[in-house]
């Protein structure tokens, strides 16, 4: 099951539809309080987190995910991967540019759900 955290309704719908079409069970949340409830009440396999959230800090959310569910991988989505600090890219399990093909998003999520690291050559795969 994937938990998609994005404050933009259209992006949440895209994520929901993309992952559901690819045989994932999907939960979506607009903010951290909603995501925390879903994370703590479901068997989530991967958290897909938008980097630029209007009312929250993705770094803070990632820290909270790690505290409450340390084994759940985090896949970061960003329209501007160059703006994401390197330390944060290394702290999450996968990084994907929103301009990457949607198939890459699915491939990385599948890899993370299956215990992979998003890449065979390092902690986080950035595409």
Q: Is the residue at 120 inside a domain?
A: no
> What's the confidence (pLDDT) of residue 62?
93
Q: Which domain holds residue 20?
A: 2-113
> What's the confidence (pLDDT) of residue 55?
81
- Confirm if 118 and 111 have CB atoms less than 8 A apart: yes
Q: Is the residue at 50 inside a domain?
A: yes
Q: Is the residue at 102 inside a domain?
A: yes
- Confirm if 27 and 3 have CB atoms less than 8 A apart: yes
Domain with residue 40: its CATH number is 3.40.50.2300
Low-confidence ranges of the chain (pLDDT < 50): 119-127
pLDDT in tens, 96-112: 999 999 999 999 999 99
Chain-centroid distance, C-alpha 34: 15
Q: Total structural domains in the chain?
A: 1
Mean pLDDT of the chain: 88
Q: Is the residue at 73 inside a domain?
A: yes
> What's the confidence (pLDDT) of residue 6?
93
> What's the confidence (pLDDT) of residue 124?
43
> What's the confidence (pLDDT) of residue 109?
94
Q: Is the residue at 125 inside a domain?
A: no
Q: What helix, strand, coil percent values describe the chain, rounded to 5?
A: 45, 20, 40
- Confirm if 76 and 127 have CB atoms less than 8 A apart: no
**71 DSSP assignment:** T
Q: Is the residue at 118 inside a domain?
A: no
Q: Is the residue at 21 inside a domain?
A: yes
């Amino acid at each position: 099951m994937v938990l998609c955290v994005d404050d933009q309704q259209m992006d949440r719908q895209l994520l929901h539809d993309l992952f559901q079409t690819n045989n994932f069970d999907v939960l979506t949340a607009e903010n951290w309080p909603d995501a925390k409830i879903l994370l703590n009440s479901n068997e989530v396999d991967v958290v897909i987190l938008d980097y630029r959230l209007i009312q929250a800090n993705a770094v803070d959310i990632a820290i909270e995910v790690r505290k409450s569910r340390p084994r759940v991988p985090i896949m970061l989505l960003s329209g501007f991967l160059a703006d994401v600090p390197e330390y944060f890219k290394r702290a999450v399990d996968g990084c994907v540019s929103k301009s990457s093909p949607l198939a890459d998003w699915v491939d990385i999520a599948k890899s993370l759900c299956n215990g992979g690291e998003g890449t065979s050559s390092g902690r986080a795969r950035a595409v």
